[in-house]
Amino acid sequence: MEEVEIPQYFICPISLQIMKDPVTAITGITYDRESIEHWLKTARDTTCPVTNQPLPRDLNLTPNHTLRRLIQAWCVLGRVERIPTPRSPLNKQEALHLIDGIGNPNLCMKSLLKLEALATENESNKKCLAEAGIGEAMVSLTTKCFKEGKTIGLEECLRILHLVWSSSSDEIKPHVKENNDFVDSLTWVLGCKMDNHATLRTYAVLHMKQVTEVATTSLLERLKPELFKGIVRVLKDRISQQATKAALQVLIEACPWGRNRLKIVEANAVFELIELEFEKPEKNITEFIFNLLAQLCSCADGRAEFLNHAGGLAMLSKRILRVSPATNDGAVHILGLITKFSATNEVLSEMLRVGVVSKLCMVIQADCAPYLKERARLILRLHSNVWNNSPCIAVYLLTWQPR
């Protein structure tokens, strides 16, 4: 069968595919709605690819009904599969009606499923739902589920919140930045035992990450040990790459505030972080792990937990100069803290045995930042009386090759 040649003016300049829902921008150029909305949301530079004029991200798009009818007629004449007539865009009144339905026990699930479908459909629906207050409604419903101990509709609620958060962040922020009840609700979800537990925990940790990014200092200082235990369990259970990354980011954001560093250590985070790193995760996860370990090792309990793990120092030795500058920075910082505050004879001997001392010598010789070389030099000087006569350092320097 021969390929049908599509008229040029039926093709979206972004997707280069036939337009299903043509819409016209202020520049006079017509695009497919799904393509232009996705592009405006994700592109770094929103300059029109045809006219080279700047396009605002909150651009109003006008449906081009005439062009859509022409495309549909052409499909019929050319015996090409006809594009369906797109549904009318969601309006605020409809969105408000559906959100109101959540408060009615008889309509709640039906309204949630409809809202989820609309939020999944396109960006304009998400914007409309945001203007109608979907963020506040979902935060309130999550809190209500927690206080009543009910899970019906909870997964749909958390999924909707996940779908609309980026479009509703300004609207949601005032309702979460000091909302201890919402944090308690997410903590409850992290500890719930349900059939869809992994999915719910993933949404909970993703939302907790978003909360910590906008939370007030007061809220961050009052985070409870139960939350950190739930977050660390996410790391331990390896639910998903997405959940692991979000869990690490929550701990990094929370760590500097109040007594959170100690709470995180007491939640067994140090052990789980080392275990996670032994699985050789992707580079940015390793960087998060080393960032967090560096913060946790700044307290005595954190260093003690690190040294209690049989593979902690060996893991540092393995990663230095093999992952990234950020990882090198974190590793040398941890070693600086250990050698300054926790350097027993046993620890110093182990550092020599597992190759940490050799790696520090190599940092001085490698193409690293000057400040990092100076840190490594200071660590070596600090205990040179213990390490100076070791022949393994010279041998290691002669035989080492990068991964």
Is residue 402 scored above 80 in pLDDT? no
Average pLDDT over residues 180-198: 90
| Residue 242: C-alpha distances to residues 122, 245, 322 (Å) | 23, 5, 24
Question: Is the CB of residue 372 less than 8 Å from the CB of residue 329?
Answer: yes
What's the sign of the alpha-carbon dihedral 344, 348, 349, 350? Answer: positive
Classify the phi-psi angles of 352: left when phi > 0, otherwise alpha if psi is within -120 to 50, otherwise beta: alpha
pLDDT tens across 88-110, in order?
A: 778 899 999 999 999 999 999 99
Mean pLDDT of 396-400: 42
pLDDT exceeds cutoff 90 at 229? yes
Size of the chain in residues: 403
Q: What distance in Å separates the CA atoms of residue 27 and residue 54, rounded to the nearest whole number?
A: 9
Strand, coil or helix: what is 317? helix
Q: CA 277 to CA 400: how far, in whole Å?
A: 22
Q: Cα(346)–Cα(351) distance, rounded to whole angstroms?
A: 9
Q: Please report, for residues 37, 50, 126, 302, 322, the alpha-carbon distance to residue 310 in angstroms, rounded to integers and kept in the order given.
A: 51, 60, 49, 15, 21
Tell me which H or E stretch contains 10: none
Question: Tens digit of pLDDT for each residue in 33-66?
Answer: 888 888 888 888 888 878 888 888 777 888 899 9
Tell me the CA distances in angstroms from 385 to 144, 345, 364, one per residue in order: 63, 12, 19
pLDDT, one tens digit per residue, over 8-39 is: 889 998 888 899 899 998 888 999 988 888 88
Q: What are phi and psi of 225, to 5 degrees?
A: -55, -35
At position 107, the amino acid (one-letter code) is L
**pTM of the full predicted structure?**
0.82
**What span, in angstroms and rounded, lies between the C-alpha atoms of 303 and 136?**
41
**Dihedral sign (CA 345, 274, 210, 198):** negative
Residues paired with residue 22 on neighbouring β-strands, in sequence order: 32
